[in-house]
């Protein structure tokens, strides 16, 4: 098993853990949302705005895209494996662009110049592993997870604590939206 396979196996394991924790949270919060549906209906909904990217940042991404985008790859005589690797590189670059991660974009561009695609694919896998690990850590430390653990316990005191915490969190979000 090479380095990339090991990293991908770790990512898969973390994805499974995240899915399990998320299911637990969804079960508990679903039940709490139903129980407190009137309060939940007042929960603020966030709208996400895309920020425009400018200057060198956009130019670097375009140079990468010109070498790795699927439409460009079809015009070249490349093997299926090369096409898949370059598509992975494009997705990695797109993610870095969306995250405004200029350092990663520069790394990708320099690696493309040196024709070292495998390093980019491994870097992407490591980046994904790091992000997934952080996502799992945040999830396990979240108030939602703690509420879910308390709410799904068989202990009436913990269930009451979960309900009170839930009402407090949702009320705080509503107050923040109104101010």
Place of tokens 């316990």: 153
176 in any annotated domain? yes
Q: What is the DSSP string of 5-45?
A: HHHHHHHHHHHHHHHHHHHHHHHHHHHHHHHTHHHHHT---
Q: Assess if residue 153 is contained within a domain.
A: yes
Of 95, 98, 120, give the one whose Cα is nearest residue 109: 120
The count of structural domains within the chain is 2
| Residues 129, 147 within the same domain | no
Task: Give the Cα separation of 23 and 18 in Å (integer).
Answer: 8
Residue 48 lies in a domain: no
pTM for this structure?
0.47
- Same domain, yes or no, for 64 and 108? yes
For 93, the token pair is 């670059």
6/60 same-domain check: no
Pair 123, 92: CB distance under 8 Å: yes
pLDDT tens-digit readout, 48-98: 333 334 567 788 889 988 888 887 777 777 777 777 778 888 888 888 888
| One domain for residues 35 and 57 | no
Domain identity same for 98 and 151 = no
57: which residues sit within 8 A by CB, 6+ positions away?
97, 100, 102, 105
Are 74 and 124 members of one domain? Answer: yes
Residue 5 lies in a domain: yes
160 and 119 in a common domain? no
Digit-by-digit pLDDT tens for the chain (179 residues) are: 688 888 888 888 888 888 888 887 778 767 766 666 655 455 444 333 333 345 677 888 899 888 888 877 777 777 777 777 788 888 888 888 888 878 778 878 887 887 767 667 777 777 778 788 888 888 777 888 888 888 888 888 888 888 888 877 777 767 766 66
Task: Let me know if residue 83 belongs to a domain.
Answer: yes
Residues 75 and 113 in one domain: yes
| Domain limits for position 18 | 1-43+142-179
- Residues 128, 148 share a domain: no
Residues 38 and 60 in one domain: no
Quickly count: other Cβ atoms within 10 Å of residue 50's Cβ.
Answer: 6
Query: Which pair of tokens denotes residue 65?
Result: 């895209």
Tokens representing residue 81 in the block = 């494996």
The reply to whether 12 and 76 lie within a common domain is no
């Amino acid at each position: 098993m090479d380095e990339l396979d090991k990293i991908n196996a770790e990512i898969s394991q973390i994805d499974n853990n995240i899915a399990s924790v998320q299911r637990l949270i969804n079960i508990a919060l679903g039940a709490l949302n139903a129980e407190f549906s009137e309060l939940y209906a007042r929960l603020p909904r966030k709208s996400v705005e895309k920020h425009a990217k400018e200057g060198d940042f956009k130019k670097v991404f375009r140079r990468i895209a010109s070498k790795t985008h699927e439409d460009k790859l079809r015009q070249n005589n490349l093997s299926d494996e090369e096409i898949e690797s370059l598509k992975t590189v494009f997705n990695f670059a797109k993610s870095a662009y969306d995250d405004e991660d200029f350092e990663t974009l520069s790394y990708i561009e320099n690696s493309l110049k040196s024709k070292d695609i495998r390093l980019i694919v491994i870097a992407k896998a490591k980046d994904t592993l790091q992000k997934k690990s952080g996502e799992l850590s945040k999830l396990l430390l979240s108030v939602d997870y703690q509420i879910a653990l308390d709410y799904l316990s068989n202990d009436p005191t913990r269930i009451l604590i979960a309900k009170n915490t839930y009402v407090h969190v949702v009320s705080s979000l509503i107050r923040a939206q109104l101010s």
